[in-house]
Structures are given as structure tokens and as C-alpha cells.
Amino acid sequence: MIIKRRKTRVIKVGKLKIGGANPILVQSMTKNKIENLKNIKSEIKELINCNCEIIRLAIPKRNSINYLKSLMNEKVFSVPIVADIHFDYKLALDCLDIGVDCVRINPGNIGNKKRLAEIIKKAEQKKAAIRIGVNSGSIEKRILNKNNGNIVESMVESILENVRFFENLGFYNFKISAKASSVLDTVNVYEILSEKINYPLHVGITEAGTLMRGSIKSSVGMGILLAKGIGDTIRVSLTGKSTDEVKAGYLILNSLNLRNFGVDIISCPTCGRTQVDLINFAHRIEDATKNIKKGLKVAVMGCIVNGPGEAKEADIGIAFGKKKAAIFVKGKILKRLDINNILEEFVKELYKIV
Ligand code: SF4
């Protein structure tokens, strides 16, 4: 099955193009406070190393802008930056003035339309982008009351109202997010929006939870949408490390063949036939290949009977017997080896392919 992406308008965020046939981009948001320059610098570096393509930072107060400016002056960022603004529209204006690539604003708390118009005008002048980000927890009360508290209808109405406002001011360089913590509400909102508008959609499940819970919830929600061709950028929101958000993002896109990034380990679940500590071996392979950026499918199988056959699609794989293992490439056995030093031998063969 090949996923047919919905056609969206192409916008520019810094040097990147979002929407249309451009790759679905993986974003994250820093967790450190911006005034803790040492920590935030190393977080940004780690995010860039694991291929985070857009980085969003919270700009909660006036003072935050000086820190952001100093990070920008030091050229810490090699990817587009999004300043995340709530409540104070002047923060958005100042961030645009110092040259951020995009501001994320929440229409539910940014104040009146006059203020919004000022942000739009400034973004236009600076050739920056805007993300209209509606969250289920902060919808405008007026819209919520009008829709009798219906979250989905209210989120859609809030987005459409803002889209019309942006368009009336002749500004089109914006993308949209409409995240709810309920997977089904999020799916519903994005489906409706993708029928009604063609601006790029940033997809995610907000407040998804800790690493495992949040990754599963995000995979389910985003998986439904992405499989329907909806989504131009994604963020997996985790109560955890930002680099894990990026890794989870790529795993979701890889599993739908929407991106082909890094090593994808196809490992068998193990069963009564397994003769080695396969779980440990799979983790060690994962660790040994974590810095590879080239898309590569690596199979780690517990037995030689089913292993190569079950993992035909893998670029390279290993299947274990009692004291021996076979390395196979594209389902065909390349060599059989003694189990001693097997990890090193396998990694050596794997890097030959990389
Ligand atoms: S590959 Fe072999 S060991 Fe692994 S689950 Fe399948 S049958 Fe069991």
C-alpha cells in the first residue's frame, strides 16, 4: 500500500519548505529553561544530532528573548526555530524582530484580533511563518459556549475563523495545529480540517504521556491520520526527553514508509525455540547503530528456521541457532559464524552496507 498524501499549500519556515510533496518533517520542543544556557545549548545540539528538523522553544517572558538572541548570535541553531508564545503578543513581535523563523501562537490566549493583526504584519515584514496552534485545553470561551462545549466543533471553528482572518490580511505563510489529548478528537478535528483547508498541518497528540504511553498514543493517532495522507510535520509530545520525541517521530514515519531514516530493527518476539539472549542482543544492536542516519532495515531473529524467511525485507539480518548464527542479506544467507564475537562481526558487516 502506498500512502497518497493530501495536497497542501507549500509554506516556508526558514530554509525549509513545508507542505505539498515535501517530506513530512520531524519537530520537537526543548525542555530546558531558556535562561539555563548551558543545558539548553546541549539539548539543542543533541536534537540536531538526532536529526530534529525544526526546534521550538518556549518564550515565556520578556527576559527570555535576550537568551534566545544570544543563542541565535552564537549560531547554535542549524535548523529553523519556532518561538512558542502564549498570552503576550508583544513577545511574538520581539521574537520576529530578532529573526526567528516562525512564531507559534494560540488564538485562544493571544488577545484580540488587533494584536493578532500586528503579529501577522510583522511576520509578513520579516518573511517569517506563523503556526496557528489551537489546543483542546485553551479554546476561546466564546467559541466553546457557542458550540455547547463540543471540543471538536469548537476547535474546527476556532481554526477556520483564524484562517479567514489571516487570509483577509493577505497572509498565507502559516501552518496549523489542532491538538487534543484525546486521540479520537484529534483525528476527528484533523480529518475535518483537511477537507476544508489546504494549509500544511502539523500533527500531534498533545500531553500524550510518558515514553511508552505517549509513543503508543501518538503512534495510534498520528498513524490513522498519516495513513490517510494527512500531516506535513509531526511532533510526538512526550513527558520525557526531547530526543526521544524525535526518535519516536522517525519510527512512526518509517513504519508507514513516509520517511526512511536511521536503522529500523526488525526483531522477533522470541519464543520457546530461541537459544540465545536475543532481547539483550537486539538492544546492543540498537545501541551500536543509533548514530546511523541512512535508512536501513536490520533483522534480529531468534532462529534459523524462520529467521531469514520472516525478515526478507531487511537489508541485513542475523538469525541464531544453538551455537551458531547466520548473517543474511535481503533474505539470502551471506555467512555462517560461530556465536563468539558475533556482535562485532555482525556490526562490521552492517557498516559495510552503510
Ligand atoms: S524467529 Fe524463531 S525464535 Fe524468533 S519468534 Fe520466530 S520462531 Fe521463535
6: in domain: no
Which ligand 1 atom lies nearest to the CA of residue 305?
2
CA of 88 to the centre of ligand 1 (A): 57
Domain containing 228 — which CATH number? 3.20.20.20
What confidence score (pLDDT) does residue 308 get? Answer: 67
Those residues with Cβ within 8 angstroms of residue 23's Cβ, 6 or more apart along the chain or in another chain: 258, 259
Compute the Cα dihedral for 42, 45, 50, 56 and give only its sign: positive
Judge if 63 and 207 occupy the same domain. Answer: yes
What's the CA gap between 62 and 109, in Å, rounded?
17
Judge if 81 and 214 occupy the same domain. Answer: yes
**Residues with pLDDT less than 70, the chain:** 307-308
What confidence score (pLDDT) does residue 45 get? Answer: 97
Which ligand 1 atom lies nearest to the CA of residue 320?
3
In total, how many domains does the chain have? 2
Domain boundary among 255, 284, 318: 255
Best mutation site among 271, 276, 277, 312 for ligand 1, i.e. most ligand atoms within 8 A of its Cβ? 271
What confidence score (pLDDT) does residue 220 get? Answer: 96
2: in domain: no
- Whole-model pTM: value is 0.93
Rg of the chain taking only CA atoms, in angstroms:
23
Judge if 117 and 204 occupy the same domain. Answer: yes
Half-sphere exposure of 308 (CA within 13 A, CB side): 15
Contacts of residues 113-120 at CB distance under 8 Å and 24 or more positions apart, as own/partner, are 113/165, 115/89, 116/89, 116/162, 116/165, 117/165, 117/169, 118/89, 118/93, 119/89, 119/92, 119/93, 120/166, 120/169, 120/171
For ligand 1, say whether the CB of 275 is within 6 Å of any of its atoms. Answer: no
Judge if 69 and 87 occupy the same domain. Answer: yes
What confidence score (pLDDT) does residue 127 get? Answer: 98
Atom 8 in ligand 1: residue holding the nearest Cα: 271
CA of 89 to the centre of ligand 1 (A): 58
18: in domain: yes
49-68 residue pLDDT tens: 999 999 999 999 999 999 99
Cell numbers for 340, please give them: 563468539
